[in-house]
Amino acid sequence: LLSVAAASDLIATVPLRLARQLAHTLDLQVLPFPVPVPNVVVYLMWPHALARDPAHRWMRQRLEARLTAL
């Protein structure tokens, strides 16, 4: 997405950390979002059959940890 924005007159809304990381490389200008953004509630849902699946449980734990850190 940022490569497309860099090669055109388009804009892109991306996470600030990503924008800052690639701004210099892609010669982009990072600007604050022009309107307030409310908090978003995130729900994790999965089929009961996957509740005990080790890989699925691992992924849910990673997502929950990341979302809690925000």
Query: pLDDT value at position 70?
Result: 67
Query: Residue 9: helix, strand or coil by DSSP?
Result: coil
Same domain, 52 and 66: yes
Domain count, the chain: 2
Phi-psi domain of 21 (left: phi exceeds 0; alpha: psi -120 through 50; beta: other): alpha
Assess contact for 2 and 12: CB atoms under 8 A: yes
Q: Which amino acid is at 55?
A: A
Distance, in Å, from the CA atom of 14 to the CA atom of 20, rounded to the nearest integer, reads 10
Same domain, 49 and 70: yes
pLDDT in tens, the chain (70 residues): 889 989 999 999 888 889 999 999 999 999 988 899 888 888 889 999 999 999 999 999 999 998 887 6
Same domain, 18 and 44: no
Query: pLDDT value at position 33?
Result: 86
Which two structure tokens, joined as six digits, stand for 55? Answer: 């890989």
Same domain, 19 and 30: yes
Domain interval for residue 69? 38-70
Distance, in Å, from the CA atom of 32 to the CA atom of 39, rounded to the nearest integer, reads 16
